[in-house]
Amino acid sequence: MEVVITIMLVIGAAGLLVQAVVGLGFFVSCIWEKERRASVFAGLQFLGMSAFLIVYLLLMWIGFFRTGLGLAILISGYVLAVSAAIVLLRRSAPNLQALQGTRGLIAGEVKRQDERTHVFARNRSLRPGSEQFAAFYREHPEYEEYDARRREAGGPLGHFGTIDSPHEGPNVAATLASGAIPMYLGTPEKVKPEPHFLMKGKRVNLTPEEATERIKGYVQNRGADLVGITELNPLWVYSHRGEIFYENWEDWGREIKVEHKYAVVFAMEMSFDMVGTGPHTPTAIESMGNYAKGAYIATQLASFIANLGHSAAASHFRHYEALMVPLAVDAGLGELGRLGYLVTKELGPRVRLGVVTTDLPLIPDKPVDIGVQDFCRICKKCAVCCPSNSIPVEKNQTVVNGLRRWKLNDETCFEYWGKIGTDCNVCMRVCPWSHARTFPHRIILELITRNKSARRIFSIMDDIFYGKRPKVKAIPKWARFKPGKPVWEH
């Protein structure tokens, strides 16, 4: 019996020590994240864990746990710890809908989206007085008054960087510099490339397995953080062309045909520090920089596939033929979140996406269940913090265009962008999945991806440690509005 008690005491001490070390790691992580509120709570938590460990060791040293009362407390502690472990560590039943990808979200007839009706295409491409302008509003009078008011207010993005006026100049300049890359790489000959003259008339024979390995490796080598492959569902291809960037107005309204069988989908991480500044101008630098990176990767991949002797088309910031998020869901990169973005296990919603469609035979990946839909039902932080109230706060999803989802109000979201002159990113900033992937956050992530109880517990803890309305993070020195001036809240 004495040996058993000794073993129990040693295991208990080791467990409390590990707990304290994890608490210390979380405290250090919060300091590194520059989260003042979280650092205070994490510090108090670590002190409590340390005090508990010290008291336990003192009681163990004086022999308290070898008394009747002490042994009863020790056994009770074990029962409590084992029960908590069972509750938090067991794998909950899988979300079978998530494992079907977008097919699990379909609850009725889904119609392909016409790019002409997209809020960006209406306000960025259509020119007042043009033939296309008149034709569109004859067919869609429901948008005319709304769009007219937006144009009077200053256009699709208002006065760029308004939120940080009068110090926005350098950040606007940096954003526009990054934006030049997708414009250059969005020309027809780059998004649908011909093979290099050295490869014309040739076809490199690869098995689907070999092609998949090479394609994924190439994409990651070019700078993507995540990559997946899916068979292209025609529902996620735009029905008609609506965005015009190179005066190719003969393309406006042209039917987009589904020419390819596969889609290679990749994601690039958005900087934790830069996203943390949303809705201020540094987050727009990061967004445009990632769009530029996506264009760089997508056009190179399309050219690579063309040189192998197959057809390919790059979809990026200046040439979309398909909807990015549904394809990413089907390619197993993550799940659709309440905020309307893809939420990945590795990086949360802090990603931008690129796609290349092709007829090159590949091996598709499978959709994943990482607990996002269940977590989003519990956590409503993005909806609560949305400055334009564009994200639905209701617990359950609704059916829109035959799809079960939380439907973002893209009109009011876009209107807010116009007022502040950035792409906001507040929802991305406050999402609990957006935390830096430090060791403690990785532990939490593993728990919430596999367990429903952990999702509820850590959703509450996120509110406690980071606040229900997390504050804007400190802006990196090089992107501050004015040297020496404090960051201000919008």
Q: Is 406 helix (H, G, I), strand (E, B) or coil?
A: coil
Segment 348-356 mean pLDDT: 98
Residue 328: its pLDDT value, please? 98
**Which band of pLDDT confidence, cut at 50, 70 and 90, is reported for residue 372?**
very high
**Where is 353: in which H helix or E strand?**
strand 351-358
Please state, as a whole number, how many other Cβ atoms lie within 10 Å of the Cβ of residue 82. Answer: 10
Q: Could you tell me the pTM of the whole model?
A: 0.94
Residue 247: its pLDDT value, please? 85
- Mind listing the pLDDT tens digit for each residue in 41-88? 999 999 999 999 999 999 999 999 999 999 999 999 999 999 998 989
Residue 337: its pLDDT value, please? 98
The answer to whether 449 and 345 have CB atoms below 8 angstroms apart is yes
Segment 296-317 mean pLDDT: 97
Residue 308: its pLDDT value, please? 98
484: pLDDT strictly greater than 80: no
Give me the chain's average pLDDT, please. 93
| Residue percentage of the chain with pLDDT more than 70 | 97
Residue 488: its pLDDT value, please? 43
Lowest model confidence (mean pLDDT) among 7-11, 142-146, 276-280: 142-146
1: pLDDT strictly greater than 80: no
Instruction: Record the tokens describing residue 403, joined without a space.
Output: 């799809």
Residue 155: its pLDDT value, please? 58
The answer to whether 178 and 295 have CB atoms below 8 angstroms apart is no
**Which band of pLDDT confidence, cut at 50, 70 and 90, is reported for residue 172?**
very high
Backbone angles phi, psi at 348, to 5 degrees: 65, -145
Residue 248: its pLDDT value, please? 85
Segment 197-209 mean pLDDT: 94
- Mind listing the pLDDT tens digit for each residue in 251-298? 999 999 999 999 999 999 999 999 999 999 999 999 999 999 999 999
